[in-house]
Structure 1
Amino acid sequence: MNHDHDEAGLTVGDRDPELSKLLDRGLDAYNFAATGTTPEDQGELSVRAQDPVTGETVGGLTAWTWGGLLGIEMLWVREDRRRDGWGSRLLRAAEAEARRRGCDRATVSSFTFQAPDFYRRHGYVETGRTLGIPGGAEDVHFHKSLG
């Protein structure tokens, strides 16, 4: 791992797992205090889609929950299975689990070359965009009430 140092005490390099852990702890403490939430209000969530015949994983969803909010990080379905309804089933299962955990809203973003229309069809409303994604794309941000 190459690191460049400058006279101001900055170290620049590749991913630093120790620094990531330190930042997570620091930001969590700050965020909990600022929002009135606690570590118990935070969790991780995943949904795996498996072919019932072969047992092969055909896709999945990862997310987090925090203080009543579901944050979808990744949703992916194998290309040869994308017309089989797996994406909708994954999303519905994650939303149901989030509701069970007390969440009443959800957030997700999707690049314009990915699946923004998929989220719109499932009741997600666009709240903004981040420009400058490679290839001239945009990152579309969505919100949905789960109530």
Structure 2
Amino acid sequence: MDGGTILKTSISSNIEANKKDYIRSRLIEFNLRHFPEELKGRYEELKLHLVDEDEDIIGGIVGEFCWNWLEIHYLFVEEEHRKSGYGQLLIREAEKMAIQKKCDFIKLDTLSFQALGFYVKEGYEVYGTIENAGGHTHYYLKKDIKNRA
């Protein structure tokens, strides 16, 4: 093998949080070497949540500001609170934050039984699909927000 001798290998699906963080941080470190100087240091998590009067979480959005874009990993609203505008409230707050951070676009993905119609209504465009993802279609969407400040 190139790069030296490997003394011991171990493959496990039980990865400790610190090892997962190590792998993630090393990839980010590698990626940073390939981005323009003005984008370095622009990497942070997005965590928004909605709570009811009892402080129970009824929805939230999780993602990452990655250099010049926002990547949304999860947007969820409890079933009994759907169709009440909470998803729209969350995504628009995330978009507002992305604009403030001078992101050029937002990207996310959804499955055919999830929220494709919602995202399209919010201005997201499908740029790719994978058929038969667990018997469903997996959609990849993007919304350009450059120069919206």
Shorter-chain TM-score category?
0.7 to 0.9
What's 1:13 paired with? Answer: 12
1:15 CA displacement: 3.0
Amino acid at match of 2:108: V
The superposition leaves residues 37-94 of structure 1 with CA deviations (integer Å, 9 ceiling, x where unpaired) of 42x210111111123x444321010111011201001000000000211000000001
What's 1:48 paired with? Answer: 49
- Confirm or deny: 8 A CA contact 1:46 1:94 kept in the other structure: no
Structure 1 stretches of 4+ with a deviation exceeding 6 A read none
With normalisation by structure 2, the TM-score equals: 0.83
Q: Which has the higher helix share?
A: 1
Tell me: CA distance 1:125–1:20, structure 2 relative to 1, closer, same or farther (3 Å): same
Q: Which has the higher strand share?
A: 1
Residue segments in structure 2 that go unaligned for 5+ positions in a row: 1-6
Tell me: CA distance 1:113–1:10, structure 2 relative to 1, closer, same or farther (3 Å): farther
Are 1:110 and 2:110 an aligned pair? Answer: yes
Counterpart of 1:34 in 2: which secondary structure?
coil
User: Please, which moves more after superposition, 98-107 or 20-29?
Assistant: 20-29
Aligned length, in residue pairs: 137
With normalisation by structure 1, the TM-score equals: 0.84
The superposition leaves residues 99-140 of structure 1 with CA deviations (integer Å, 9 ceiling, x where unpaired) of 111212100000111111111000000010123422x11210
Structure 2: distance between partners of 1:54 and 1:24: 35
- Confirm or deny: 8 A CA contact 1:50 1:58 kept in the other structure: yes
What's 1:138 paired with? Answer: 137
Residue segments in structure 1 that go unaligned for 5+ positions in a row: 1-7
RMSD: 1.8
Amino acid at match of 1:92: R
